[in-house]
Amino acid sequence: MLCLRNISRITTELCVIETQVVDEVEGYTEWGAREWTHPYRGVLALIDESDAFYAQNTEAGSSR
């Protein structure tokens, strides 16, 4: 998200971002302490492709 905020500061007219869409993401996460949880629901997910990247898979979207 910080990356998107930084891009929005320097983009004056139009910024096109290509991304994949995931199904709804929902569940519970730890919220300040192990015994406190908070529900979340959203459409943003991170898929860790670092193994594919280090295996020289050219289809991986990860980069350094």
In this prediction, residue 38 carries a pLDDT of 82
For residue 55, the model assigns a pLDDT of 75
Going from N- to C-terminal start, the domains of the chain cover: 19-64
pLDDT tens readout for residues 2-51: 888 888 889 888 888 877 666 677 888 887 777 888 888 876 667 677 77
Q: How far is CA 49 from the centre of its chain?
A: 12
Residue 41's pLDDT is 81
Which residues, in sequence order, are CB contacts of 45 under 8 Å at separation 6+? Answer: 22, 25
Cα 27 from Cα 61, distance rounded (Å): 26
pLDDT tens digits, one per residue of 50-63: 776 677 766 665 55
pLDDT of the residue at 43? 65
